[in-house]
Chain A
Amino acid sequence: MTEIVFEHVAHRYGDVPVLEDVSLRLAERRIGIVGANGSGKSTLARMVNGLVQPTSGRVLVDGLDVARRGREVRRRVGFVFTDPDNQIVMPTVREDVAFTLRRHRLPADQAAARVDDALETFGLSDLADRPAHKLSGGQKQLLALAAVLVARPAVLVADEPTTLLDARNARIVGEHLAALPQQLVMVTHHLDALADFDRVLVVDAGRIVADDAPAAALEAYREVVA
């Protein structure tokens, strides 16, 4: 497993503290992050691949300082956002998945094989030539996953990937996430999705207030939001 280390990390938006003195070592296969809106959980997740830089402290991914070697880290850490519409760049499903690989400079046949494989994995093969922005919400989120995972990162960070989805699509996306071979760090409000996770962090007011197995951590979370 990839080792993600937070060393006394803090972050402020202007004068407003968002994270304060967070120190963690994450090496489990399935890590959940929960917290109320504005608690700092998304900021914590974004720091893993350098989308947000710490104001103080540092974040290391397999020993690489995210602030200094962001590009290398992002090759290892994929990121899926809440709203898949913001991740779709190309007009059709196949082209959007292939877009990720344009920077990888793979031979055309290898890139095409990887794209086909990703489309197949996420059940998008039949939609490959459809306009991407006309897919349903669930299909768009699966496309976002395919577009990130076609690069074969070692870690996937998912920031509330099922929040905008109905129950059926949330279940489908959740099943795909559960089946991933990658290490997964997932921010979510869907507490049921964390039952089989190895570790759950509870974030409140910029601090980790619980860090435990799912049952104990979620109990602590319920007390926080009660």
Chain B
Amino acid sequence: MIGFAVPGTSVLHRMRPGVKLALLAAAVTVLAVLRDPVQLAVALALSCALVPLAHLPLRQTARQVTPVLWLLAVAVPVHAWFGTWPDAAAMGLRILTAVTLAAVFTMTTKVEALLDTVQAALRRVPWIDAERVGLVLALTIRCVPLLAAIVREVIDARRARGVGGSLRAIAVPVIVRSLRTADAFGEALVARGYDD
């Protein structure tokens, strides 16, 4: 879900990434403080209103948010079992709102612009290597689809051989391939001038 900015000219697209990041942090802080499910439902409605405001495609935005619904389908009843339904509803609404806001942020912010912002901020801190932190961020973002592809290929390979998918049988080739990919990735970074 990270890194797929949708090109556009909306007010959210034009807003500076640093300002957006600060607003996102503030909004998530407020969400953490709110306890009333009604207030949190209003917050969710407001965050959903940002989607048409930013002219984001509804289906693509839904794809960013849907995975968390599976998590909530389990977490909310468990939370209600150990606590109360209003608390469970508040927790679910809080997470859903935060994920929606994060999706709007990532879909209106290019990773390059975000890296520039993070690096510019970190350059003011003398003991932090801003370039290196930026590189680590970029690599982390890149590794999500890369690892997903490795896992998918390993599972497909096992299916093609008609072998069941025990955790160990999948984990070992995934780890081996991930390490090999990491080696190749490192070599490619050196070749592109990131050699320190």
A51-B191, A83-B184 are contacts. A95–B112 as well, Cβ < 8 Å? yes
Answer whether residue A91 sits at the interface, using C-beta atoms and an 8 A cutoff: yes
B192 near A147: Cβ-Cβ < 8 Å: yes
Interface residues on B, range: 20 to 34
Measured CB to CB, the closest approach of chain A to B159, in angstroms, equals: 22
CB within 8 Å of B: which A64-106 residues: 70-71, 74-75, 78-79, 81, 83, 85-92, 95, 98-100, 102-104
A133 to B185, CA, bound (A): 14
With A86-B185, A95-B112, A133-B146 as contacts: A79 and B191 at CB distance below 8 Å: yes
What's the minimum C-beta distance from A64 to chain B, rounded to whole angstroms?
A: 14
Binds A, one of B2-10, B61-69, B91-99: B2-10
In the bound complex, residues from chain A placing their C-beta under 8 Å from that of B184 are 81, 83, 86
Question: Are A91 and B142 in contact, CB atoms less than 8 angstroms apart?
Answer: yes
Chain B CB within 8 A of A49 CB:
yes
Please report the C-alpha to C-alpha distance between residue A49 and residue B189 in the assembled complex, in whole angstroms.
12
Min C-beta distance of A76 to chain B, whole Å: 11
Report B124-163 CB contacts with A as 1/0, cut-off 8 Å.
Answer: 0000000100100011011001100100000000000000
**Bound complex: CA of A209 vs CA of B192, how far in Å?**
31
Which A residue sits closest to B186, measured CB to CB? A86
10 smallest CB-CB distances across A and B, nearest first, come from: A91-B3, A79-B191, A86-B184, A87-B188, A95-B112, A133-B145, A103-B193, A129-B7, A86-B188, A91-B111
A184 contacts the other chain (CB 8 A):
no
Instruction: Indicate if B110 sits at the interface (CB-CB under 8 A).
Output: yes
Q: Answer whether residue A59 sits at the interface, using C-beta atoms and an 8 A cutoff.
A: no
User: Is A148 within 8 A of B138, CB to CB?
Assistant: no
Q: Please tell me if A151 contacts chain B, counting CB pairs below 8 Å.
A: yes
Least Cβ distance of B126 to chain A in Å?
20
Q: Point out the residue from B3, B110, B112, B187 that lies within 8 Å of A81, measured CB to CB.
A: B187
Pick from B2, B110, B111, B195: contact of A74, CB below 8 A. Answer: B195
Q: Are A71 and B195 in touch, CB under 8 angstroms?
A: yes
The verdict on A131 contacting chain B, using a C-beta distance below 8 Å, is yes
B84 within 8 A of A: no
Of all chain B residues, the one with the shortest Cβ separation from A84 is B188
Whole-angstrom CA separation of A150 from B111 in the bound complex? 19
CB of B190 within 8 A of chain A? yes
**Residues 114-158 of chain A, each 1 if its beta carbon lies under 8 Å from chain B, else 0:** 000000000000000101010000000000000110010000000
Closest residue of B by beta carbon distance from A98: B112
21 A-B residue pairs with Cβ-Cβ distance under 8 Å, sorted by A, are: A50-B190, A51-B187, A51-B191, A71-B195, A74-B191, A74-B195, A81-B187, A86-B187, A86-B188, A89-B138, A89-B192, A91-B4, A91-B5, A92-B110, A99-B112, A102-B134, A103-B193, A104-B193, A129-B5, A129-B7, A133-B146
Interface residues of A in 10-53 (CB under 8 A from B): 49-51
User: Is A151 in contact with B142, judged by CB distance below 8 angstroms?
Assistant: no
A75 in contact with B193 (CB, 8 Å):
yes
B146 touches A90 (CB 8 A): no
Beyond A51-B190, A99-B112, A131-B4, 12 extra complex contacts between A and B, CB < 8 Å:
A74-B195, A81-B188, A81-B191, A85-B146, A86-B188, A87-B188, A90-B3, A90-B142, A91-B3, A91-B5, A91-B141, A100-B192
Given contacts A90-B111, A91-B142, A133-B145, contact A151 B181 (CB under 8 A): no
